[in-house]
Structure 1
Amino acid sequence: MILDTPARVEEQARLILQAQDDGDGDGAHDLAHVGRVVRMAARIDRELGHPCDPLVLCAAAWLHDLVSLPKSDPDRARASARSADEAVAKLRRHGFPEERLAAVHHAILAHSFSAGVPCQTIEAKVLQDADRMDALGAIGLARCFYTAGRMDAQLFDPADPLGQHRELDDRAFALDHLPVKLYRIAETLHTAPARAIAAERVAFLKAFAARIVAEAG
């Protein structure tokens, strides 16, 4: 199969992801997460007037987490580089246009928060925004607490849930991850559509944190 349409790219990407599944069962970086990122990237591109190369954006969005490492893994910062390398190798074998592979590689490489690679293309910016959007709102909150549980963190500090009189520590307390990272994500977004969605989702996170304090007494 020659991967010359988004539909064919999606079909092959799904097969690649299924073959790559190592049974780790990380619910924060599963196929459902990938699907949400794909749909959000398409939405942002659409609201921008479709400036992205559809093949590049589709391939990068589907394969952006091809190599997913736990947050505690010392090689975590290289996960996006490894994903980009593997994605390009697999796409090349399945007939993806050679002249577009570099753009796919860059978009996947730059999407990661921990990698710290500046986005040089519109596809990279849209993918990064779409991936970061999944860390906000109700789903982002669920992923936050799920990941904290996998790392044996507590829900929150019962004596000071919002960390107003102590140093924030999101490895110890899940709720601390909101001000440590999630609230700040909105400031890193590249596109106007993403910033508009993020504003509403951050407001939800702040309301949740306030409700925690109210219920904790």
Structure 2
Amino acid sequence: MMNLHALEQQFIAYLKATASAEDGSHDLGHFRRVWNMCRRIDAAEEGKGDLYVLLAASYFHDLVSLPKNHPDRSRSSVLAAEKTAVLLREEFPFFPADRIDAVRHAIEAHSFSAGIPATTYEAKVLQDADRMEALGAIGIARTFYTAGFMHSRMFHEEDPLALERTPDDRHFALDHFQLKLLQLPDKMQTAAGRVIAQQKAALLVSFREQMVREVIGED
């Protein structure tokens, strides 16, 4: 069986040759960070995961990633899982065939919008690792990058914290913190994931407080 490092280099070479450069939030850097976070979580969980499954799922979980405003957005992970299963069989015949179904499930279940329960340890680790990208400094950058991509506003000028209105992250990026991002630590599937997520979420809270101070002129 090919060792993990050599296999990773094969995956990277394939993605460099085929991946679109249009979405900077789902690029090769994202895949690398998810893989590194999977290993970090797994190490904290006593290394009980199948690293071959986690490696393949990390690099191919966004093989299909429809825009957030696409009507079939919730099916992205299922489509990515189907495409990955075919890819591993046809382009990477040296990948262990008996692990492909586990990779497929991990990819299907990683998505927030798909609502598919993660039933394996590897699926839970991948889900946590991918959602970690929505927190911390990377999470802040991705939130506003996506808002610009979708032509939405950074915040509601008169009520940035949505104290007297219904939060709407389709139109105001800062509302996404309240509606989704700050809820993520409690949704993590692993104990290690929850600890890391809570640390990263603290930066979002601090950032939001500073932004509001600047918006209302009290900085």
TM, length-normalised to structure 2? 0.94
In 1, Cα distance between equivalents of 2:116 and 2:2? 28
Q: Which residue of 1 aligns with 2:152?
A: 153
Q: For residues 10 and 75 of structure 2, what CA distance do their matches in structure 1 show? A: 24
Aligned residues: 214
| Aligned counterpart for 1:40 among listed residues 32, 37, 41 | 37
State the percentage of identical aligned residues: 49
Task: Report Cα offsets for 1:10-42 as digits up to 9, x if no partner.
Answer: 122113322331342x11111111111111011
Partner secondary structure for residue 28 of structure 1: helix
Question: C-alpha distance in 2, partners of 1:168/1:48?
Answer: 36
Please list, as runs of the form range in 1=range in 2, the aligned pairs for 1:14-163 lying within 5 A after superposition: 14-24=12-22, 26-93=23-90, 94-95=92-93, 96-163=95-162
Provide structure 2 residue ranges, at least 5 long, that are not aligned to the other structure: none
CA distance in 2, matches of 1:212, 1:18: 37
**Alignment deviations for residues 36-67 of structure 1 (CA, whole Å, 9 cap, x no partner):** 11110111011111111111111111111111
Provide the alpha-carbon RMSD of the alignment.
1.2
Q: Distance in 1 between matches of 2:199 and 2:20?
A: 35
Q: Where does structure 1 differ by over 6 angstroms across 4 or more consecutive aligned residues?
A: none
Please tell me whether the aligned partners of residues 4 and 55 of structure 1 are also in contact (alpha carbons under 8 angstroms).
no
Contact preservation (8 Å) 1:69, 1:76: yes
Quickly say closer, same or farther: Cα 1:86–1:16, change in 2 above 3 A. Answer: farther
Q: Distance in 2 between the 1:87 and 1:16 partners?
A: 12
**Which blocks of at least 5 consecutive residues in structure 1 are unaligned?**
none
TM-score by length of 1: 0.95
TM-superposed deviation, 1:165: 0.5
Check whether the contact 1:80–1:110 (CA below 8 A) recurs between aligned residues: yes
Instruction: Give the C-alpha shift of residue 193 in structure 1.
Output: 1.2
- 200-209 vs 120-129, which moves further: 200-209
